[in-house]
Structure 1
């Protein structure tokens, strides 16, 4: 059951870090948001609706921005019990059509496509996610430089239903337990 959870739900959650913006958006403001997500992030999450409601997990990610481009990449994984699922996402500005991206190998493989979105007010990104008949929205909010709140919702009938919530903390440059980063 945990392995099914990892393959069905965690791919949607991992997209939580990728950002998109609409055509004509403020390139400098978007780049500032993407840079704010650079670094090491860890934290707990929980499935808040659906078949796996109440399932708790822990994730660890490294965010980076590409040289000379607006966008970002994310690498890491999430753990449920003793099972870990590797996660990766890439997003870049693609001409006037805004940003496009993929999680894992995109919807043509076992992942998801990032099809549209918007950086809002420099501290939040809202994305549209798609894979076959699955349509959803992810919102990532960075209220301060060391905290990120992520919510993933899926469309059921004509409503968006939140299914995943995460609270991540920046750990780069911060001592963890009794072990300081070199």
Structure 2
């Protein structure tokens, strides 16, 4: 049960610039692209369930971040481990018009995962996504305070309040920030 709860709520990760001028829209698209490109690379680190029945459960994750060609978005693919148990993890988001970003964690709410129903890139270092699975409503926030650190918090709605449930602190383990490498 502990694994099911943990693996149903783990990652994933966006401001639609509706009504903005063309120049503002381009700046917003550049900001979004910059954020998602900063996620490219190899990430590892610990996490913990910080509230609820499984409070105190620690886990570790390893992800590869990539961006799709032709659209703004990202994929994080890898696994998370609790003790001797390991579970494949995958989250994908792509730009989706007025809702900002949409995607899925694992196989989405129709399977064993979560739907990412909207999202906004707040700035070049932070993204917020709305999560949904049946009655479970929540938010995932990913913040990249520097080129080699990504902090992820998953919160769920309890009554009218968002309660943080999962926290992760990932470190880049590849050779450096992808934004500093020229693409061919």
Deviates more, 1:130-139 or 1:115-124: 115-124
| 1:155 match | 157
Q: Distance in 2 between matches of 1:97 and 1:46?
A: 30
SS in 2 for 1:14: coil
Structure 1 gaps of 5+ residues are 175-182
Report how many aligned residue pairs link the two structures. Answer: 168
Residues 1:5 and 2:2 are matched in the alignment: yes
| Per-residue Cα deviation, 1:13-33 (whole angstroms, up to 9, x for no partner) | 222xx3x34353611110100
CA RMSD of aligned residues (A): 1.4
TM-score normalised by the chain length of structure 2:
0.87
Q: Mind listing any 5+ residue stretches in structure 2 that lack a counterpart?
A: 19-24, 177-184
* Partner of residue 71 from structure 2, selected from 61, 69, 72: 69
What residue is the counterpart of 1:127 in the other structure?
129
| Residue deviations 1:105-159 (CA, integer Å, cap 9, x gap) | 1111111100111111211011110000000011111000000111111100111
TM-score for both structures, normalised by structure 1: 0.87
Q: Is residue 91 of structure 2 the alignment partner of residue 89 of structure 1?
A: yes
Deviation (angstroms), 1:49: 0.6
